[in-house]
Chains A and B, each alone.
Chain A
Amino acid sequence: MTNVRVTIDGQEVLVPAGSTVLEAARLAGIKISTLCDHPAIEPIGACRVCLVEIEKQRVLQPACTFPVSEGMVVHTNSERVQESRRFVLQLLFSERNHFCMFCQMSGSCELQSLAYENGLDHWEFDRAFTKFSVDASRKYFAMDHNRCILCRRCIRACDELVGNGTLGLKNRGANTIIIADLDVPFGESSCVSCGTCLQICPTGALMDRASAYMGAKNEITRVKSRCMACSVGCGVELVVRDNRVIRVEGDWEAAPNKGLLCEIGRFHPLHEERHRLRKPLVRREGILVEATWEEALRAAAQGLKAAGQEVCTVASGFVTNEEAAALQALPGAKALMGSAPVAGDGSCLGVLDEADVYIMVNTDLAKDHQVAGFAIKRSVRHRGARLVVLSDQPTKMDDWAIARWTLAEADRAVRLAAEAQMPAIIYTPEGAALAETLAAQLPRAKRVALAPLGNALGLAQAGISQGFDGQKAAAYVVVAGEAPAMPAPLASALDKADFVVAQASYREPWDQVADVLLPMPTTFEKSGTMVNTEGHAYALSAAVKVTLPSVQEMAAQLGSLL
């Protein structure tokens, strides 16, 4: 790539041709104020905050969209630029309701920060604004059009990153507002509640219900960790105040999700309705009663011993590598709380942003591994890629697919993908056999095998590689973490078992079956490592300190008693 020489604020920099002025300034370490621009999405030059003076240009130009050329001389902070920036900010503030002291974003708002940076202590224009109603029809966050500056970040994120295309605009000028689909309430729209718009909104227009008014930028800390809800292993930033996670955000810098999260990773932990388990419970005369840790462990050891030597330990996807290793202290077989992972061809999830034909085999990426599904949706929307769904049931990806064929019609998918440059076959263990057959007929195909549980590959590396398909042991130790439900084979096995010990973060559903129920830290509360579906090891950092005994302590102590 050729480079061009530009001078920004007297500093000469060599930048790749085709860069924007803003990108060039960033390379030179010069900060240009921006508002509608966001690194993850395409710039559109909507807000005019980044206007800079470029010599030989008649008027000021937006740095975010203006391409550099050889010998260009840019002034980012001249008198003229400063004046224009203040003018633009005054216009933004004078339209709609930007009274910061009443806004939950006050202290974390990008518009407010810009005002402070530019010494805007008042605005000269009359406050002429239409009042808009607040749309609170969505479960996890509300939209206040009155605080919206129409930067269109949410629209672009929904379209370019998530590929869902739910958001748009209606009307014109001062009456323009953000709408969902063809102007239906957000809660009734095609929104998948991934919350990317919420995270990318620079003002208080989008308001998180769980964390609204809970802490501004200087009152919170951010801890980078990982989501263990599925094997994509998204990088998260846990927003913490007073030893409590108030919000989960996607880590823009983390692979493979690059800032995106799904409803399950972003919202479910903060809208958990199950009862948190903080004290051990022991079943006495059919009823679970509180006990000390020692009593509970003794009861567990006694019960397991009474049931004989046949003990099976079942670990969920929320178990870290370190916890899994410690489970070896327990006697008997070990199994995964689900199917055993299948190996693909080592393709990374990045393949999903390159393939031109996708065959999704017997799984629904709009339900599980949603962030991987977003990559397919955005490729269908913007790269002209084509998706074929092979499933006997309707999936939520069908709207993005050119066709859904039954598993018996797999030959049609092969014919379609035969001419593709890079077909990608996406599957979980349920579709593995068929996926292998397809791959054998498509030499160019990439096989993206998605592991069924969050840390399935890490558990497999620690020696827990058997899927649980109804083994019969007399007694079980279930290490559940936040696992939301019992898979059917496990539920029926536990029902028949003589004795069940469970270590879990929540009472439900384990209080139905466990004889001894031990508390367990959640993903937010523990450090360790996990291995995602691509085989990458990722670190988890505890964002919250708890005094609950770890899985390691449970395994060591129970192991020694047995």
Chain B
Amino acid sequence: MQTEIIIAGFGGQGVLFAGQLLSYAAMDAGKEVTWIPSYGPEMRGGTANCTVVISDEEIGSPLVRHPQAVIAMNLPSLDKYEPLVKSGGVLIVNASMVNRQPTRTDIHWVMVPGNEIAEELGDRRMTNMVMLGALLANLPILPLEALIQTLEAHLPARHHRLLPLNVEALKRGAEYLAVKA
């Protein structure tokens, strides 16, 4: 069993971190996992994406043409990755950063106002956590609780004061979909 997730946005949105958190959680759950980044030379802006492959067996290709799921954090990412999601797959869109809805009818897509939810919580930098929570609510690869435990286990001690807000952001992202349904 293998799942592939691509998280894409611009540099500074925490795209790579979100992928790493997912990867740590998969590893802690005893899975095989590969995280591979792709980004331009810019420190902010530009493009940033990572591919996370989670599997029960030794992973082959670290990159996939048609992922099972995509988190699109901004419009260029939506434009690039909407056509590539596997049929029957999941597309989580940051509604705050796009001006259109996905047009495909053969995938399960959800619009989540990530920036607004994060700002409500007090920090727009939590947008990536909101989107990650929304992903897990729609793609049952790992329970949300697993991600929370992973954050506690792997986040360096000096960042632990940020834990409560990150956990809240994850939960709010996951709950947003529940409300919609």
Whether both chains belong to one complex is answered with no
Chain A interface (Cβ within 8 Å of chain B)? none
